[in-house]
Structure 1
């Protein structure tokens, strides 16, 4: 009954907006149209550009010749706006008379300013960053190309090097410790969730090959727009679309990579990818396949890097297809499928090092168990989009999606009784209904509302490959209505406010806990009664952005997120502290509700772009992983995380640009729950959550039109917040996540040369100066087995042929 009342409360505003929009429509029956053409300064057409009437839901996409037409426009005065990634947003005022067609010509200029980027992930509708009151980082095709020239196939490294506030990749198959603003991140592929928050396995960032990614949108701070798991924000991989103007085209890319220290035959790796794309009449397509094989990875001193969860000696496969059909200029159906697999088959085994003194390395030996890695990750969707196809000029987007994921971890001969090798299985099926209705259209006040319903079933479990159950299957059903109002006031202030109602049921069958090591003994094998866990929670967001001046573009925002993070870890131990339970009803399974406050600004001063943001996020209950008797368990204490990010981009010359960023974050747990976070008993969150300060810098230089040179710098700072174990063991000096992190600096370099119109070649060097260093993960783990050095200098070569 309470759920029904909450749904009613959420949709009462929608009814009001529909009535208001209906009244407006009744007063504006006289309609006309807007037509025109979008081009570059040299007259070349720009197909695919989004052309909208500013502040309304009316719009169209430019055709192959750059032309567009928007029908059904009520008589009045409008601002026509053309938005396209990598170009300045262009606006013109038009007057639409009854029964007449207004004509405009829109000329777009190229721009490197991030404020002009068009994003969809922040609120499920196209909008520029300059109008969005949240922190956003967008990696477009050029930046992805620069970064993948250095670390091909490893999208986690690309993100870690390029996104302020996101932790560095640790040269492993997983992304444990690679948090966003000190909290967990929700990863998406075209809006399909990849993360497994019910049993977080830290394998969600590296789940797709970069070759099929068009752009990456990173929304920072707690957000609920896509549901469970976005405590620190979300990462949305947006896959490629056809190249405009071609009925059949493609690109073939071949590459080779190798370490430059201890060079030998087994250090060589190879990469190949093939893409076909085109558009013929109303049908368009992209089809792609890639294969990536790495050789043995070595550190700066020529030692083989530990193979445990490493990226050396792995084979990765990716298959991708996206098909679309335009039923009419305003109706489109589209389907996508992507398959990704990465598994390691190494000839080396771990030889533990000595923490703080000597690295863990790989030595030749026979590995036990089955190959470690992601066996498969299937993603698919089918969507229908209709512009203004419902009453009140409402646009609709209806998407059904599916994800099926299996990843396998390494063998542990001592933790599980009798040894074992665990795996996570997760299957998601979902349906998303997204509607957008204009409620006010005018020169001074514009408003529209985006609203709809998310339906999701998520089945996640963790077992051993021999069939023993570790974390029982959790069958989650989520029904979530949501609404997001966007309003432009006096053409200079953008207001956004919204709500999402989470109605979640998680079913768990009766199960028996697995016998695992706890301290010096084994425990487990207990019977636990299952049941259904229910959650009904409303989460809210609100923000303001001032858009009048490019040199002063500030925003403030408040947002909340909902997460059942690490429910599986709680179930598999079936205990509260040291007390065992007999039913899941006795466990601490409350959700993590994060409240995020931030204020920031962007400033474009001629060739200089500046950005700054400060944030605080709080949660009454966290899920920080702490080590108890050698086992990581969630710590359910109040948390506060705070930090800031600074960015600078400077186009010094037409062929020279440079810039950088700095990000700092800290966090604490309130152990006596008095809200101060500064008492003697309060503790810092460990480094599995809080990353050390990170600074980046870059120089992009194009000495001639066909040649581009790129130098990137990255510094990982210091974080030393914890004391050694009171009783150090033979294998560990610090509790997991509490080892001191010392700073290190790295340089990467890449170059690309367009030999002909169809042939391009390039190379990249990771760790240009062959720096010997230990990754942040190797340092914060605090034990001998994980104390591994990072990659020494590595060379990546590639050649691409397009047609």
Structure 2
């Protein structure tokens, strides 16, 4: 494997170098590959195209991006392909490209990767992947990016898709069957590793897809296998990571078919299976927080492989157009089965003795969405309305049979209506309501013993919790002038976040005595976009409030418990893009967020770093050297954050450690060898810098005090036919 990696690198240089000098005379127009966002749009050659970019996640109706009165990021297929050259983990890709999303953990989990300081609801084609009843923090990395057509990120509280979207929504939209051939396909082969220390660090990536059209039927199918070798720090030492990605594999199979009955109706059926587990012959040797890092040493983990043993998604959507009043209907039924296995621990805070927990979730749902246009001339619009039905069964057992969190059986029925009015062609009003009518049934249960004598057990009487709440949203956008395109908005979100934590930590004998009220989040936002000459500037400022929170704070035993105190989060996001020449484009983003909770005595304290990320800045330079060679340089910066005092013994509570700045540079490029063959290459951390990621720093834990990746190179070959 090592020889193959070196051979491909050598071959790439031989092929490319002669072409690079020739390319200085062959300039071509640049195609924007930064995220197409309410904050990110580039040169005049693609301006009109980007203005016509259509998204559906924000309000469940097709709308142009310049009609949305909120902050939106759209990440397209080309941008995803660029980032795969650097790191194929979708968590890393989004961390590099989405302003307002927290830094990634470089692990299989996304702890601390919040959106604007609050939890995000992750969807695949509108199917919820998150488990808000008990957050396992594996929802962002719930599929392989090879099957993604685009990602739509809606920032700020929104209830349009239901429970758990206090910070916003990430909707992965999978590839659609659109080939005009009977059969077409793409083969992807890739190798990656640490160039200065290839021993056992080489990984590989294999992907095959087919798509085509047969009369009225069209299809797309793919399978991707990704193996990650040992991850190493800049000095070549093996990273010691619990729930890590080193020596892990991920498998994603996917199929989608569409049958068009006629011009007015069609049926789409899709299935996706994702599995990712770590099977390493290294274990973690704890470091000393603030002094030396945790490292990986040879050893055997006594538990089952940690990760995502299974993530099944299946849905069927029937679309019918040209109903009375020109109404269009989408009816979708879906099923989601998700298992998340946490790492084995020899000692736990929540129970006595060793053990390994697994979050189990089953969701079944039905969605009816209707779109009816109205009006003409200077006042026109669309109404989106319908009903969501959802059944969610979630619980968390230990693999030895003990039940850590009892089964939470939620049934949710939510009618909704969303109105968009276009007044005088340039003033867009959007408003809507969603009525959440949910219940959660929990049978009688017992908490687990905390000592060898069985102490700490509490027998809790279960019951039913009813939730009824109306969520509202409203916004205005004025898009007449490109040099000043402002918007204002208000939106709400409904969340039962961390109900499982509340149940498993019960100290009373009746569930009715627990504080299980939902979190209602209010989001206020104002912003604008501005286009002039070669520049695109955008800005947004937001305030997010909730009367109840779910900030996790460690008690004296180290168990994380949610605080139900009022919270206020605020922040801003800035972006600037410039197309300097036909072949050179530059851009940058900056995102800042801060948050506090109000205690019972009226004093305010900062929210923990698992919620509030440090300031994050990104920048890119894209250079089209020739019509065949495309190069992109990316910079990612996370700033400092020091909000908490240490304990008397000098240690910090979990999640409150001081954070120092980190600067990382990444390189991605592609070369078109032939019209059907493309070579991709990339380097993560091109300067091989030693650093501690944000997660390692704020955790303030010897076991988690791990360094980040050293330089890691990849070489990929794509054949399209």
TM-score normalised by L of structure 2: 0.92
Match of 1:325 among 237, 259, 263: 259
Q: Tell me the TM-score normalised to structure 1 length.
A: 0.83
Structure 1 counterpart of 2:342, from 409, 420, 424: 409
Match of 1:655?
583
The one of 647, 655, 665 equivalent to 1:747 is 665
Q: 2:299 and 2:570 mapped to 1: Cα distance?
A: 46
Kindly name which structure, 1 or 2, has the bigger radius of gyration based on alpha carbons: 1
2:486 aligned to which of 543, 554, 558: 554
Offset at residue 673 of structure 1 (A): 6.7
- Greater relative CO (CA pairs within 8 A, separation 6+): 2
User: Aligned equivalents of 2:358 and 2:529: distance in 1?
Assistant: 44
Q: How far apart are residue 658 of structure 1 and its match?
A: 1.0
Asked if 2 retains the 8 angstrom alpha-carbon contact of 1:349 and 1:364, the reply is yes
Within 5 A, what are the aligned runs for 1:183-262?
183-262=118-197
Q: Is the 8 A contact 2:179 2:211 kept in 1?
A: no
Once the two structures are TM-superposed, the CA of residue 111 in structure 1 deviates from its matched residue by: 4.1
User: Does the alignment pair 1:632 with 2:560?
Assistant: yes
Residues 343, 208 of structure 1: alpha-carbon distance in 2 compared, 3 angstrom cutoff: same
Match of 2:675 among 757, 767, 788: 757
1:604 alignment partner, one of 528, 531, 540: 531
Which residue number corresponds to residue 528 of structure 1?
460
1:345, 1:168 → 2: CA distance?
A: 25
- Using the alignment, how far apart are the partners of 1:198 and 1:552 within structure 2? 42
Residue 478 of structure 1: SS of its match in structure 2?
A: strand
1:538 and 2:456 aligned: no
CA apart distance, 1:522? 7.8
The separation in 2 between residues aligned to 1:572 and 1:549, in whole angstroms, is 54
Q: CA deviation at 1:561?
A: 0.2
Cα distance in 1 for residues equivalent to 2:36 and 2:567: 39
Is 1:436 the counterpart of 2:371? The answer is yes
SS in 1 for 2:440: strand
CA distance in 1, matches of 2:597, 2:606: 6
Alpha-carbon distance between aligned partners in 2 of 1:109 and 1:245, rounded to the nearest angstrom: 27
Q: What corresponds to 2:713 in structure 1?
A: 795
The corresponding residue for 2:269 is: 335
Task: Specify the SS of the correspondent of 2:158.
Answer: coil
Structure 1, residues 458-490: CA drift from partner, whole Å, max 9, x if none?
000011011100010100000000000100111
Three-state SS of the structure 1 residue aligned to 2:501 is helix
Deviation at 1:649, TM superposition (A): 1.4
1:86 to partner: Cα distance: 8.2
Deviations 1:681-724 (A, max 9, x none): 31000101000000000011111001100100011000000011
Quick one: distance in 2 between partners of 1:112 and 1:610?
A: 16
Structure 1 partner of 2:411: 477
Output the CA distance in 2 between the equivalents of 1:344 and 1:524: 33
Q: Does 1:776 align with 2:703?
A: no
- How do residues 608-619 of structure 1 correspond to structure 2 at under 5 angstroms? 608-619=535-546
Residue deviations 1:598-645, cap 9 Å, x none? 000011213321110000000000000001021100000000000000
Contiguous gaps of at least 5 residues in structure 2: 1-34, 38-43
CA shift, 1:241, in A, is 1.3
Pairing partner for 1:173 from 90, 96, 108: 108
Give the stretch that moved more between structures: 183-192 or 416-425.
416-425
Q: Which residue number corresponds to residue 281 of structure 1?
A: 215
Structure 1: state its 5+ residue gaps. 1-84, 88-107, 575-579, 675-680
* Separation in 2, partners of 1:722, 1:418: 32
Output the CA distance in 1 between the equivalents of 2:280 and 2:257. Answer: 37
SS in 1 for 2:344: strand
Matched, 1:360 2:319: no
Q: Which residue of 2 aligns with 1:71?
A: none
Alpha-carbon contact 2:586-2:622 (below 8 Å) kept: yes
Mapped to 2, the partners of 1:476 and 1:323 lie a distance apart of 31
Q: Is the Cα–Cα contact under 8 Å of residues 562 and 593 in structure 1 kept in the other structure? A: yes
**Structural RMSD (CA):** 1.7
- Aligned with 2:405: secondary structure? strand
SS at match of 1:755: strand
Q: Deviations over 1:336-370 (max 9, x none)?
A: 10000000000111100011110001100111111
Partner of 1:705: 627
